[in-house]
Every structure is written in C-alpha cells, then in structure tokens.
Chains A and B, each alone.
Chain A
C-alpha cells in the first residue's frame, strides 16, 4: 500500500478554505512558588477543584487546593522547568487518559504517555481519571468467577468478577507473585489486565514486565508505571488512571482485572502532597481524607447490572505491612474497604509454603457465590481442615503420644499443605485444581509420602491430561461434581495410583 498524497492535500486544502480564527480566551494565574511537585498560583480565580491546568512551559497540573488567596497545584510531570512568575492557564477540563485496545501490550505513565519506546498510543478515545463510582442500581452481586490459577486462593478465598480482594503481607512474601500469576491466568478468559506499579523500583517493574512478556500475558495487559523516582503527584494519580483505562472495558460489557501494586506507596505519596499543601496531618501524619482516597478508588471496581452490559472490574490492591502490623492506619483502612484479604506470612514463606497464604485469617466475603459448583464442593471443608491441622500441629510439636485419629488428621494436613504449594508463574486450570483438591480431601494422597506429594500431583495431572481427557472435558463442561463424574474421577485416580505404585516399586 502507498499513501495517496492528493487526498492528504485535499484535506488540508479544505481546512485552509474553511479557516477562521477564534479569539483564544483563557483564565490565567501566575506561579508564586514551585517545588517538590507542587506550585502555588496567584490568580486563576475561576478554577474548579480537580481541574486540569497548563503551565506555559508545557507541564500539566491539577488544581488540588483552592485557597482564599492562591491555588495549590500538583504538577504532573517535570516541575523543574517551571519558573516563578510563569503563566498558568486553566483548561476547563478534568484530567483524562487515553483508553482502548491500543493500550494493550503497552507500558505507559499515569497520563497515558508511552514509556516503552514503541511509538505513540494512537487512540482518540479518552476517559476522565476521576469519576464517581457507579451506584447501587447499576450493579449486581458478584457471581462470575475470576480464576487466579492458584489452588489455595481459588479454593479458599475465591475471587469473583467485580470483587476487590486485598493482598496484604510484609515485604518479600510473594504479594506481587500472586497478582502476576492471576494476570497470567487470564490468557484464555478474555479479561483485560492492568498492572499499576506505584512507587516501585524501575528494575522491579522491568522484571515484572519481562515476565508478563515471556508468558504472553502482555498481549492483554497494560502496565501503568509511576516509579519511585517519579514525582509524588504522578504516583498519586496512577491508580485512578489505571482504573479509568479499565473502565473503558467495563462500560462496554467487558471484564478487566486491575492490580494496584501497591496502595501503601500511593498513600505515602498522597501524604507527601497533602503535607506540602499544608493540609493538617492526622494519624501517622496521613491527611484526614486518606480513607476517601482509597475508598473512592476501590468503589469503582464493580459488577455492572445486565442492563449496563454486565461488565466488571476486579481489583487486587496490594498493601505492604511492616513487621506484620495489620492494625496500622492504611492496612486497616483498606481491609475495611475491600471484600476480603489474602494474608501472606513471612513464616510460611520461609518454611517453603508458597504462596505463603495464612488460610486462617484470609477471607473472601463475596467470592463464594462466584465459585463453580465443583470447586465449592471440594473446597468446602478444606479451610476448616487446614485450620484444625494448624492447631493440632502445635500439639504435635510437644512430642506427646497421639491417638490414631489425631495422627491421621495430622498426616492429612501435612499432605494438604504440600498439595496447596504451587510454583510461581504456573497457574493451573480450574479443572486441574478441582482434581487435585478432590484427591487431597478424598484421602487419595494419604498413602503417598509427604515429600513425594508434589511429584505425585504433577504426574497425576499429566496422567489426566494424557490419558483421561474425556473426564477433564466433562468436568469442564458441567462445572459440577455429579455422581458419574465423581465415579470416573475415582476410577482415574485408582488407575493412576496403580501406575504410581508400580513406578515406585521399581
């Protein structure tokens, strides 16, 4: 194909023919002082809260504080080029970001400008960054599952489309890994993913992006980066920008998954801005409205009603705790906003339990309705079994003689813990998850030595894939454990067990 220059000329000709000048009327102010990502501006008497303003040197800002004598502006971008006395003009617009399929596979900053060197994001569609969340009438309960591909989560703290499930834990407990696995597992689900990296090292983000690329997840994922070296205003708006990009899909009947990694850093950026703006500090020096900062963000995750197209945004906010302190200000806030939390513990992590989820205090308040029937059935007793096991485990460490029933419970527990361990970047299909957990809770693994449980699991799944695809297919179609399916699963396990025993005796 070649460009037709005549047509281009005709478009320009039409524009010249219809050229008319319009007087440019704008409201202006002057920069009084600038620094640390904020500016005080004199003038701009008609500016609205949250309105976008433009500095003469090209940077954009947001009207953040409307004071009696001046306007406090947060600067989105490079504030070092802004000079004292510079003209600032109001635009009459709210901050917006580009949205659409063109963003998939891209790495952008919170304003939608590309950071990956793959050229401009060519889309004319934009959405405002800050919008009021949909109301009660436009929603419906969470009922569709969002499979993370992680056995422990899909079984015990299931996540539904439209849910907000918090991932909370100390540093280095695998919080990002859980979220990234959830993104990778959306390969065939049609869910568009948005990974919002806030205040992280650029090298860490680059690692995540590389992993997403390797696994093919970048095809349906947008990464929004406001790194540790970016000014606080960008870190503050990043999650809202990511949500705006996800809303494009939700309001068009699609499904999106947003990961905010992490909101504690966003709260810190917001605290910085608020203190610089001289807003009064409250608990832990956070401003009074830091709760609203997170609640209005997470309220935008929703499952829309059928009349609205039935789209959804599922969000996985991440909060980093210090020394397991979940009762700090930001963690309690976000725990109370979200529909459940996945609590990751360093002790479990270092004991080799990965994902290091503490099943006792991790909950999902609404996800149960979204589980497929088969999973609901096999996972029913799993959480209680595990909690009972943790209790007994403490006893067992005392070295007391145990009665056979207790010993059996303990043995089962050890094996279930082994079964729920899962490697990073290896999300499982929900059918495989059901098969594995069924085998575990059904007691079919009890004869396998604890150290060989993971090997048994891998070979069992391989066996089901290679030799019993019809059983998997039936389970995938019906999504529930009918008597026939249970019978065929039992038969398959028995058959596999025979092969396993034979291989072990060699």
Chain B
C-alpha cells in the first residue's frame, strides 16, 4: 500500500506536528519559511503523487538508511533547498519516512497559523457567488481577527444559512438547526406550561370546549 493511502492516524499527525514545527523554526531562522513550506507541499504533489513507486521505495523498510540517503541525494541535490534535503535525511535516519505527507500538511497549517491565516470550513446550502463568499470572508475575518482560508462545501441538507467550522468549534447558523431548536424549544415550553398549570388547558367534561 502506498503511504499516501495510509488511514488518518492521530498519533502520526501529532508526531508530524513536532517535525513540522522544528522545520519551520529552522526555516524561519534562515528567513525562508514560506518557500520551505511550498517545497514540502510540492514534494508531495509533484513527486509523491506522480511517482508512487518512488514514494514506496523511499518509505520501504527494505532499504537501510545509507541506501535511502543515496537515493535522496541523487534525486534531490540541486533541485531542493538544503533544509528540505536535511529534513528527508533526518526522517530517513529516524525511520520516519512515512511522515512526509503529514509533515507537509502540518507545516502548511502551522505556517498559516503563524501568518494568522486560519482554515475555515464553510457549509452552505447551494453554490454562492464570489461576492457572497467575499462577504463571508470579510465578516469572519472581522469577527475573529483572522485571515480566513475558506474551504467551501455545498450541503443542501442544511436548507439555508451558513455553518462555519474553525478548528474544533462549529458556528451553526443553518436553517435546519434553527428549525430543530425551535421544535425542541416549543415542545419544552409547552410541556412546562402544561405541567405548571394543567387546569388552564382542561375544561370540565360536559361543559363543552371553552369559548
């Protein structure tokens, strides 16, 4: 199985986050954070995705560190920055080659966060115009003091309105949730009212309904 298809693993992401923050710290010291992040992403998209056999070879445990190092040197010397090259060698030394994709993902996230750019998951009921999206972007940016990176999903099930997810927090302004809330609230209030003063809702039998 190619590494790219590894299932999501919380522990691996955590580990990748540590490598990513180390990589970013080293890159920032040299003032090349943005380019290093781009380079690791390009490594995944332009190399690993196009040459799955190469990724398999790099992540294979049949090769030892020296063989992998040779492979890395041959493939990337002169084509990648020294930092990226070193990252790959360190990963090879530590037998962590399968982390490359996660590190690319995590370093992008960490770098964006450091630039105050935060991924915002936007769910809307139907496709929206660019103007509407820009409006959402401005509103979210203003409300949270961030530079939102919108990731738009079309989900007709929410009926209308908008659902935002920033980190682990969901701000649900969808029509569907509003309906659901209203329904439970109406039930609760009605039950409360009936339990509180049952006589108000009853008329004595035989007298017919109250006028």
Interface residues of A (CB under 8 A from B): 1-8, 11-12, 15, 19, 21-29, 32, 40, 42-46, 68-70, 89, 122, 124
Contacts of A43 in B (CB 8 A): 168
Instruction: Point out the residue from B165, B190, B195, B210 that lies within 8 Å of A28, measured CB to CB.
Output: B165
C-alpha gap A26/B191 in the complex (Å)? 26
C-alpha gap A320/B172 in the complex (Å)? 50
Interchain CB contact under 8 A, A19 and B8: no
* Given A24-B181, A25-B172, A45-B168, A7:B205 Cβ within 8 A: no
Interchain nearest-CB distance for A73 vs B (Å): 13
Interchain nearest-CB distance for A312 vs B (Å): 29
Which residues of chain B (137-173) have a CB below 8 Å from chain A? 165, 167-173
Contacts of B14 in A (CB 8 A): 68-69
Interchain CB contact under 8 A, A40 and B10: yes
Contacts of A70 in B (CB 8 A): 10
C-alpha gap A321/B157 in the complex (Å)? 55
Contacts of A29 in B (CB 8 A): 168
Give how many A-B residue pairs fall within 8 Å (CB-CB). 84
- 11 extra interchain contacts, Cβ-Cβ under 8 A, other than A1-B204, A26-B170, A27-B169? A3-B201, A7-B200, A7-B201, A21-B178, A22-B181, A23-B173, A24-B172, A27-B168, A28-B170, A40-B10, A124-B195
Interchain nearest-CB distance for B179 vs A (Å): 10
5 contacts between A and B (CB under 8 A): A4-B202, A5-B209, A11-B190, A68-B14, A122-B195
Instruction: Point out the residue from A3, A6, A11, A40 that lies within 8 Å of B189, measured CB to CB.
Output: A11
* Given A23-B171, A89-B170, A1:B203 Cβ within 8 A: yes
Interchain CB contact under 8 A, A26 and B209: no
C-alpha gap A45/B170 in the complex (Å)? 13
Contacts of A24 in B (CB 8 A): 170-173, 177, 181
Contacts of B8 in A (CB 8 A): 32, 42
Interchain CB contact under 8 A, A4 and B209: yes
* Given A19-B182, A24-B181, A26-B172, A69:B210 Cβ within 8 A: no
State the main secondary structure of chain A at its contact with B.
mixed
Interchain nearest-CB distance for A459 vs B (Å): 53
Judge whether B41 is part of the interface by a CB distance below 8 angstroms.
no
Instruction: Point out the residue from B167, B170, B201 that lies within 8 Å of A8, measured CB to CB.
Output: B201
Judge whether B57 is part of the interface by a CB distance below 8 angstroms.
no
Contacts of B204 in A (CB 8 A): 1-2
Interchain nearest-CB distance for B188 vs A (Å): 9
Interchain CB contact under 8 A, A4 and B172: no
Chain A residue with Cβ nearest B177 = A24
In the complex, the 4 A-B pairs of residues with the closest C-beta atoms, listed nearest first: A69-B10, A24-B172, A70-B10, A69-B14
Interchain nearest-CB distance for A438 vs B (Å): 52
Chain B residue with Cβ nearest A123 = B195
* Given A12-B186, A19-B182, A28:B201 Cβ within 8 A: no
Interchain nearest-CB distance for A231 vs B (Å): 23
Judge whether B13 is part of the interface by a CB distance below 8 angstroms.
yes
Judge whether B185 is part of the interface by a CB distance below 8 angstroms.
yes
Interchain nearest-CB distance for B206 vs A (Å): 9
Contacts of B189 in A (CB 8 A): 11, 15
Interchain CB contact under 8 A, B168 and A11: no
Contacts of A21 in B (CB 8 A): 173, 178, 181
Interchain CB contact under 8 A, B203 and A4: yes
C-alpha gap A19/B11 in the complex (Å)? 45
Contacts of A6 in B (CB 8 A): 209-210
Chain A residue with Cβ nearest B165 = A28
Judge whether B192 is part of the interface by a CB distance below 8 angstroms.
yes
Judge whether B193 is part of the interface by a CB distance below 8 angstroms.
yes
Interchain nearest-CB distance for B200 vs A (Å): 5
Interchain CB contact under 8 A, B10 and A2: no
Chain A residue with Cβ nearest B193 = A11
C-alpha gap A19/B204 in the complex (Å)? 32
Contacts of B13 in A (CB 8 A): 69
Interchain nearest-CB distance for B192 vs A (Å): 7
Which residues of chain B (1-54) have a CB below 8 Å from chain A? 8, 10-11, 13-14
Among B10, B169, B205: residue with most chain A CB under 10 A: B10
Chain A residue with Cβ nearest B185 = A15
Interchain CB contact under 8 A, A2 and B203: yes
Interchain CB contact under 8 A, A25 and B169: yes
